[in-house]
Amino acid sequence: MEPRPRPVAVAVNALLCVLSLCVSAAEAENVTTYDAKNFGAKGNGVDDDTKALVAAWKKACGTPGTVTLVIPPGTYYIGPAHFHGPCEALAITFFLQGVLMAATDLKRFGNDWIEFGWVTNLTVVGQNGGVIDGQGAASWPFNKCPVRKDCKVLPTSVMFLNNQNTVVRDITSVNSKFFHIALLHNNNMRMSNLRIHAPENSPNTDGIHIERNTGVIISDSRIGTGDDCISIGQGNHNIYIARVHCGPGHGMSVGSLGRYVGEGDVTSIHVTDMTFQGTMNGVRMKTWENSPTKSLAARILFENMVMKDVQTPIIIDQKYCPYYNCEHRYVSGVTIEDIKFKNIKGTSTLPVAVLLRCGVPCRGVVLQNVDLIYNGKAGTLSHCENANATYVGYQHPEPCA
């Protein structure tokens, strides 16, 4: 192995402090560092580096103590790669200095492309770019999910699954085949300084999808895709999102909820200081009708939002269905209560800037200090169904009658 460069040790020490695992300078010298190229990775954008990167991960994961796996500058062409624990390492850092470039043959993939799973004290950090390129353009024509319920789901670029105490920062994700990043069954996760990009017409390229997690923080990031910038799915608790710029895309959603059997509740969500620019929606809650089981979405706060040319900035939609033929037999089984929209201002590109469409009456919906102006000639409107909303402070458009 080549001698470990000192800058890597310094950077790793700083990362461990972010994880509340700060180590002394002497202890930092004991960090074990592996270079993926020493395991056969070429990084030339042509040779398949999947086996080399997985082998390097297994070595790093199996090493006791504090460990860093460096992916040096270069372009690493890889197929499905699972970076799994449990690890012998006390803390492990995946240090991406180059570009990970996805294979384009869909036959190689299952549900995801890169998967970090069953790891404790994991850090995924980028430097000098740190790009994850899903090469999704070749796959988007095969995505029928926007129009068919029984569609084949394309692979997510990066899945975080069953991890404890995770930091993800300074990473760029471009042109995912499906979701860019998905979080499933994680506890205590911090994500910051992410750059996520895909064309506005790319289908289902959600920036970050969150499902069945506890204790997630997402901050100081820019996301522009063909779908939701951030989507908070079922079974989440204690999610905090701050200072995220969203656009283009469909906005930021809690949902969709209520489609499948056994969905978990969504509680204690705080979204603050976001800017939406040119998006289809701003902040939105969406639930399906005809829910097979009941669930709850409660204690959710959206505050300090700026809307710039957003079609519909504030939405509760309990009749969500993106397909042409939708059944309307039963109201949504998702109970919505204690939802607050506070300090939301800006411009809409449709007359109805506030849409509150509840199934069974929503409980505890509050709008406080809302100032939204339609860019067209007519005035700005609100539309409500079974919302029973409470209005506090300045309101434009006028509250529903």
Summarised one tens digit per residue, pLDDT across range 199-239 is 999 999 999 999 999 999 999 999 999 999 999 999 999 99
Q: What is residue 297's predicted lDDT score, i.e. its pLDDT?
A: 98
Any idea what DSSP says for residue 129? T
CATH architecture of 32-374: 3 Solenoid (2.160)
pLDDT tens figures, 48-102: 999 999 999 999 999 999 999 999 999 999 999 999 999 999 999 999 999 999 9
Mean pLDDT, the chain, whole residue set:
92
pLDDT tens figures, 246-279: 999 999 999 999 999 999 999 999 999 999 999 9
Gyration radius (Cα) of the chain, Å: 22
For residues 367 and 400, the answer to whether their CB atoms sit within 8 Å is: no
Q: Three-state DSSP class for 41?
A: coil
Pairing of strands 131-133, 172-174: parallel
Query: Which one has a higher pLDDT value, 25 or 160?
Result: 160
The stretch 350-376 carries a mean pLDDT of 96
pTM of the shown model:
0.92
Short-list 235, 252, 250, 248, CA closest to 199:
248
Q: Which residues are catalytic?
A: 250
Of the listed ranges 24-28, 161-165, 388-392, the one predicted with least confidence: 24-28
Query: Which one has a higher pLDDT value, 298 or 17?
Result: 298
Q: Three-state DSSP class for 212?
A: coil
Q: What is residue 29's predicted lDDT score, i.e. its pLDDT?
A: 60
Q: What is residue 22's predicted lDDT score, i.e. its pLDDT?
A: 44
Q: What is residue 2's predicted lDDT score, i.e. its pLDDT?
A: 33
Burial (CB < 10 A; 0-12, 13-18, 19+), residue 293, is exposed
The stretch 38-53 carries a mean pLDDT of 98
The stretch 111-128 carries a mean pLDDT of 97
Pairing of strands 131-133, 99-102: parallel
Query: Which one has a higher pLDDT value, 377 or 65?
Result: 65
Q: How far is CA 319 from the centre of its chain?
A: 23
DSSP one-letter string for 314-361: EEEEEEE--SSS---SS--SEEEEEEEEEEEEEEESSSEEEEEE-SSP
The stretch 179-196 carries a mean pLDDT of 98
Query: What are the Cα distances from residue 45, in Å, to 52, 75, 227?
Result: 14, 5, 28
The stretch 268-294 carries a mean pLDDT of 97
Q: Three-state DSSP class for 269?
A: strand
SS3 for 350-373 is CCEEEEEECCCCCEEEEEEEEEEE
